[in-house]
Chains A and B, each alone.
Chain A
Amino acid sequence: MYLTDEEKSMLNGDHGEIKQRCMQFLVDYGEVAGAEHLIDLDGNVDLHPPYGNWLGDYDVSYEEVVELAEIGEKFKVPTFANKAVNPGMIVDGWEKIDLEPFTNPEFRMKQEEMMKPYMKMGMVPILSCNYYLVSSYTPTVGQHCAWVESSAIPWGNAVLGARTNFDGCFQTAYLGKVPAYDMHLDENRKATVLVEYMDELKTDMDYDLFGWAVGEMVGLEVPALIGVGKPTTSQLVKMNTSLNTGGQVRMYHVPGLTPEAPTLEAAFSGNYQRKIQLGRDDLRKIYDKMNYASNDQVDFVYLGCPHYNIEEILKVARLVDGKKLKATMWITTNPSSYKVAKDMGLIEIIEKAGGNVLSGTCPGILGKLPPSTVMATDAAKQNYYINGIYQDLHVWYGTTEDCVESAIKGVWQGEWK
């Protein structure tokens, strides 16, 4: 792989041991990926703080980050925080629940402390999986980025037309560089498979199921989607999440909607290979796969994967206004929307009904749930992952309305419509 003189000198250790190790990571990654050179990021980085356990021997320890922050080192490019991991952190709403150790004040104080060196280096504490909705700073078409998180990757590539692999981390933020590989190169961004939806996508759940069905069918291919209508922001977030969870769709085109596909021809640019048609029956199959409960006595309802936006919080607040919930209900959101929801009185309405709104995290990240045996959720992603750590958990899946109704009655209310 070609390196500039400056990159070579970083690799030689002329800029300190930590920069050397970060450059060694990029060089090894680039060599393995077959990259010809490194790219200087002109977009931004999205990473999970505090850094942990992602890259083995290449990891930069927390103590080293503290050291760098102290001597005034900065991230090279605008850097945003996805959800905190290892450990997870409940930013808002933690006082209202009991979930050790996350609700222990001392534990929380330490977690807040751990964010400080990253912020000193320039990390913006959005602390959300849909940071791209609330960061107030997103890349423009063609800008090179390094992001993380399944829903964010297709959002960056397809919706914004920026260029990113799944490599947002301390190293890429600190050096502001990534290998010229995969989604950074024109030839890997063209559609190869045409996916046509033959019925009509109507509800938010339809988009969630559609994304999953397409993901399972195309894996790592780049699809061009037709027949998907005009999704709302909530629907588009759901579709992106499922595309990159049910499969590994990092990039897709919707002719006339996404920036790199003004037309169907432009989406393919001569790379067309095959066509898939799917309809409501295919969505039904995914719906059935997501419903793996036999006990209908719901004791935990989880909403907010990816983090609910303000319209979704408003929707739930209206559904529970004046009601009393029989089941525990968690809504997770980003800290920015939490504040707005609080100002609007929505948190109060939800809490009065017996629900909780938490920001900055989700059950999967915490690796912990409130005591429960039967869960209901409106998110295919969390539905499919949660069973990995709670093998005996019964999980229902349905629309937001079905889930909220189930929380009110304490009995599963969903059915395929």
Chain B
Amino acid sequence: MNEERKIILKGEKVYPGRVEGQALVSKMPLMGWLNVDAEKGVITERNHPLKGISFKGKILVFPGPRGSGGFVSFGRSKFYGQNPAAFVYTKGNNLTIFAAMEAKVPAITNLDQDPTEVIETGDWVVVDADLGIVEITKK
């Protein structure tokens, strides 16, 4: 048994920096505006698997954004000390960029494997945006 199984994904830097922490993974895209509460650092979308779970300090792994420009509230959560430690996502646009710029946390996209398939909630993840690498230690 290999208990310390490490997986490395390669991707593109969106926002620089290196951080490590526990993953919080959503297979469903994240929606902003009224469906995220920046002050509490939680998703409020009624159908969302992560509804009500704090993303504070987590490596937030998701397929991409959907909906309103209010997506930036994921970055705005920084103002309330509730922000994720990093963003790891399959495909984004300028809304995910703005969220990372506002939170000033590492962000990586366009990875060589689907991060929402490879990473599970609770895995220990190192995000090194400068090197474009995500290193996963399975829980």
Contact = CB atoms under 8 A, between A and B. Distances in A.
Interface stretch (B18-26, B53-61, B72-80, B117-125): B72-80
Contacts of A246: 66-67
- Among B12, B36, B98, find the residue whose CB has the most chain A CB atoms closer than 10 A: B98
Interface in A23-69: 28-29, 32-34, 53-58
Nearest to A34: B12
B76 A56 contact: yes
A309 interface: no
A364 B67 CA distance: 14
Given A220-B93, A245-B66, A245-B68, A56 B75 contact: yes
Interface residues of A, number: 39
A386 interface: yes
Interface string B26-47: 0001000111110000001111
B29 A219 contact: yes
Nearest to A54: B72
A391 to B, nearest CB: 7
B91 interface: yes
Interface bracket on B = 35 or more
A89 B33 CA distance: 17
A378 interface: no
Interface string A376-389: 00000000111111
A32 B35 contact: no
A244 interface: yes
B75 to A, nearest CB: 7
Nearest to B100: A32
Contacts of B67: 150, 244-246, 248, 385
Contacts of A57: 102
A391 B46 contact: yes
B33 A385 contact: yes
A244 B33 CA distance: 13
Interface string A348-383: 000000000000000010010000000000000000
B101 A32 contact: yes
Contacts of B2: none
Contacts of A367: 34
B126 interface: no
B97 interface: yes
27 contacts: A32-B14, A32-B97, A32-B100, A34-B12, A54-B98, A56-B75, A56-B76, A56-B101, A56-B102, A58-B101, A148-B69, A150-B69, A165-B94, A166-B95, A167-B98, A220-B65, A245-B68, A247-B29, A247-B66, A248-B29, A248-B64, A289-B47, A364-B33, A385-B33, A387-B46, A388-B33, A389-B44
